[in-house]
Structure 1
Amino acid sequence: MKINIICVGKIKENYLNDAIKEYSKRLSRYCKLQIIEIPDEKAPENYSNKEKEIIKSKEAASIIKHIKENSFILTLDLKGKMLSSEEMSYLIKDCGLRGHSNLNFIIGGSLGLSNKILSRANFSICFSKMTFPHQLMRVILLEQLYRSYKIINNEPYHK
């Protein structure tokens, strides 16, 4: 299975980069992983709703360029479905069983994802009702993907 994580913004903190490298290495046993960083659009200090939508639309255009035809799109969104780790593993396993060998997880920038991206999603996931920095969400997603593969393969890690 090929997993693409398409995310807005760069990681600047070394401790987050270290965690991303570690989970990417662990996941290499189970899937082909690619992390695609989209530059975030600069937002003015006090932006209007119209300016916010323009920024999200520009980011969406960059994201769409990296989505291949016939790929399964999963967005991370506060309005998405909350899953347990077991449910997440079932979702990934089910995608594979249904022939979806190319999964795209999309993490928006600080303003979120545009409706253009959200409407294209096959599934939206909410990791928490709390708000996390989008850079940290990358690490959380990678850890949950690793945990999912451990559950799928009945290997110790998940307790």
Structure 2
Amino acid sequence: MRVTIVCVGKLKEAYWRGAIGEYSKRLSRYMKLEIVELPDEKAPETMSPAQENEVREKEGVRILKAVKEDAFVVALAIGGKSLSSEALADFMAEKSVRGVSHIVFIIGGSLGLSDGVMKRADFSLSFSPMTFPHQMMRVILLEQIYRAEKINRKEPYHK
């Protein structure tokens, strides 16, 4: 299985980079993992709804350019479907059995994902109704993908 995480924004803090590095290393035993960082759109602190939409659309164009046509796309969105760790493991295993060889997870910028990205998504996943910083969401997502792999392989880790 190939997994790509497409995310808006750069990791600035060393502790986020360290956590990403650790989970990337752990996952390298199980899959080909790629993390694609896209620049976030520069925007003023306060914006009108139209300006916010424009930012989402510009980021969305960059995101869609990074997504391969044959990929199964999972958009991370507050309004998506919530899954337990076991259900995520089942979801990933089922995709693999059905011939999906490439899953792309998309983490948007601070204003969320554009309508175009949401339309391209094959599945919308919510980790919580809460809002998380996109840097933290990368770590949470990688940890859950790692946990899913451990569950599916019946290896110790998940409790």
Range into which the TM-score falls when normalised by the shorter chain: over 0.9
SS, match of residue 66 in structure 2? coil
State the 4+ residue runs in structure 1 displaced beyond 6 angstroms: none
Match of 1:70 in 2: 70
Match of 1:55 in 2: 55
**Residue 42 (structure 1) shift:** 1.0
Distance across 2 between alignment mates of 1:66 and 1:46? 28
Q: State the Cα deviation string for residues 32-51 of structure 1 (Å, max 9, x = none).
A: 00000010001111101111
Distance across 1 between alignment mates of 2:119 and 2:16? 30
Q: CA RMSD in A?
A: 0.6
Amino acid at match of 2:102: N
Match of 2:124 in 1: 124
**Residue 3 (structure 1) shift:** 0.3
**Residue 69 (structure 1) shift:** 1.2
Distance across 1 between alignment mates of 2:92 and 2:142? 13
SS, match of residue 120 in structure 2? coil
Match of 1:26 in 2: 26
Distance across 2 between alignment mates of 1:4 and 1:150? 18
Distance across 2 between alignment mates of 1:71 and 1:118? 14
Q: State the Cα deviation string for residues 101-149 of structure 1 (Å, max 9, x = none).
A: 0100000000000011011111111001111101100000000000000
Q: State the Cα deviation string for residues 67-94 of structure 1 (Å, max 9, x = none).
A: 1112100010000001000000011111
Q: 5+ residue gaps in structure 1?
A: none
Identical counterparts, % of pairs: 55
For this pair of structures, how many residues does the alignment match? Answer: 159
Amino acid at match of 2:133: P
Q: TM-score, normalised by structure 2?
A: 0.99
Amino acid at match of 2:103: L
Q: TM-score, normalised by structure 1?
A: 0.99
Distance across 2 between alignment mates of 1:102 and 1:83? 20
Distance across 1 between alignment mates of 2:15 and 2:26? 17
SS, match of residue 51 in structure 1? helix
Q: State the Cα deviation string for residues 9-68 of structure 1 (Å, max 9, x = none).
A: 000111110000000000001100000001000111110111111111110111111111
Q: 5+ residue gaps in structure 2?
A: none
Distance across 1 between alignment mates of 2:51 and 2:69? 30
